[in-house]
Structure 1
Amino acid sequence: MIKFFRKIRQNMIKENKASKYLLYAIGEIFLVVIGILIALQINNWNEDSKQSRIEQQYLVALKEEFKYSHQKLEQVIAVNKSNADYALKISDLMGPDIPAITEKEFSTLAMEMTNWEVIYHPNQAVLDEIISSGKLSIFSNAKLKFALSSSKGLLSKIRFQEDEHAVVRRDIIAIMNADGNAKKMITDAQGDTFDIKESKFKLGNLHLLQSQKLENELTDFILTARYLNQNYYEELKTELDAMLKLIDNEIDSK
């Protein structure tokens, strides 16, 4: 093709057809420009297609990640509520007189209340990789992009509240260990756990129900647990629901 155009140019020059040659040269330049523009457009289409495929891959991965985190949040909300419910049952039994409850019943309530630590562990591997590698720009939806970039703000506030609640939990355990019989409490509630045998001391744990100090700590425990669920976890749950909806809309729209 190049040889063909070169031959035409040479013939025109030999025949002194300057005006025709000029028109031909302009036309040839025009064709070259058009070719370059088409090549650039094809390259842009290919690049856009590549970026779109990468975006879709991230969207699918993020959907699975946020679904997992949502599930973990539901679990920690349930555990936190259960712990607070057990604490409330103990608190209702407390007073200057020992209530009609057995050592085993009290030990079971106390162990159920303190057995499980309340801490939310989301899976954020994909989100961390996107943010750390500067790939947020790959998402075309500005609302989704902002939501992803700011998603860790609420989590930091949740961590603070979880720490506050954990301090109260540790204080309750410390009081029961210092003033009660921890070994008896474990064996009464859970039997021969980890080969722990019954205590040889006569001290029981029912007298803890007469402790004003323990009652105060239980009140704080209930309040921080309820506050964590209602004002932090529920807000996060709403945020995760909105994030999943945004992601679903982007997947379906491509």
Structure 2
Amino acid sequence: MIKFFRKIRKKLIQENRLKNYLIYASGEIVLVVIGILIALAINNANLKRIERNQEQNYLQGLQDEFQISKMKLTELISVNQQSLESSKMLVKMMQQATEDISEKELSELLFQSFSNDITFNSNNSLLNEMINSGSLKDISNIDLRRQLTTWVATLEDIKNQEEELSLQREYVLDLFREDEYSMQTVLSYAGAMDALGLPVSGQQKSNFSILNSQKFENNLLTFILTSEATKSSHYDPLMKDLNEILEKIEEELED
């Protein structure tokens, strides 16, 4: 093809047909430019297709991670709520006459209130990898990209709140490290001693006196306030953010 065009140019020059030659040369340049533009367009289309495929892979992976995180958070909210409700029942118990309460009821409420460590472990392996590698820019939805970045910072705030809740929980449990109260009694009536394969003492020491302890009441109320704040100011907003992220991912995923 190139030789063909050269022969035409040579013939036009030899015949001294300068005007025709210039027109031909201009047309040839236009064809070359058009060819280059077509090649660039094809290349850009291929690059966009590759980028879109990569984005879809990321979105699918993120969807899987956030769905698992949602299940974990849903379960954690339920556990925290159970702990909170049991703690509130203990406050009500402190206003009742002890003869209306059994040692088993008291022990079960104590166990339900303070036996669970409240910690949210979200699945963020892919998200962290994307942030560290700079691949988060491959997410074309600006709002989604912003929420994914904010999500990581929000988890740090959640962690700080959980540490405060854990600290308040430890303040309550510290009372059972003293001689006045019996942790074994709580665990025995709650069925935890059997579950741990530990022998149960034949004579259980009563913990009823804790219901008259001002220190226990103070620590218990502080724990309740912290637990309530963890739910309403941290877990509930976090679940809202999580659902919004999943909705945006769903919108961006292709069928």
Query: Shared fold (TM-score greater than 0.5)?
Result: yes
Deviation at 1:96, TM superposition (A): 9.3
Distance 1:169 1:233 in 2: 18
8 Å CA contact retained: 1:87, 1:113: yes
Is 1:213 aligned to residue 253 of structure 2?
no
Q: Given that residues 185 and 204 in structure 2 are in contact (C-alpha distance below 8 angstroms), is that contact kept between their aligned partners in structure 1?
A: no
Unaligned 5+ runs, structure 2: none
1:183 aligns with 2:184: yes
Q: Which residue of 2 aligns with 1:226?
A: 228
Q: How far off is 1:195 after superposition?
A: 2.4
Q: Equivalences for 1:185-204 in 2 at 5 Å?
A: 185-190=186-191, 191-199=193-201, 203-204=205-206
AA matched with 1:188: Y
Identity fraction in percent: 36
- Cα distance in structure 2, aligned partners of 1:54 and 1:85: 46
Structure 1 residue 249 and structure 2 residue 251: aligned? yes
Amino acid at match of 1:41: A
Q: Separation in 1 of the partners of 2:95 and 2:244? A: 46
SS in 2 for 1:192: helix
Correspondence list, 1:128-167, <5 A:
128-167=128-167
Letter paired with 1:122? S
Q: 1:135 to 1:250 in 2, by over 3 A?
A: same
In the alignment, which residue of structure 2 is the partner of 1:102? 102
Shift of 1:220: 1.0
Match in the other structure for 2:34: 34
Could you tell which deviates more after superposition, 21-30 or 184-193? 184-193
Secondary structure of 1:123's counterpart equals: coil
Q: How much has 1:183 moved relative to structure 2?
A: 2.0
Instruction: Determine the C-alpha separation between the residues in 2 that align with 1:93 and 1:187.
Output: 20
SS in 2 for 1:195: coil
In the superposition, the TM-score normalised over structure 1's length comes to 0.92
Which residue of the partner structure matches residue 90 of structure 2?
A: 90
Q: 1:28 to 1:61 in 2, by over 3 A?
A: same
In structure 1, list runs of 5 or more residues that go unmatched: none
Please state how far the C-alpha of 1:222 moved relative to its aligned partner.
Answer: 1.1
The equivalent of 1:9 in structure 2 is 9
What's the C-alpha RMSD, in Å, of the aligned pairs? 1.9
Cα deviations across residues 75-124 of structure 1 (Å, max 9, x unaligned)?
Answer: 11100010011111112112596342222222121112122111111111
For 2:196, what is the secondary structure of its paired residue? helix
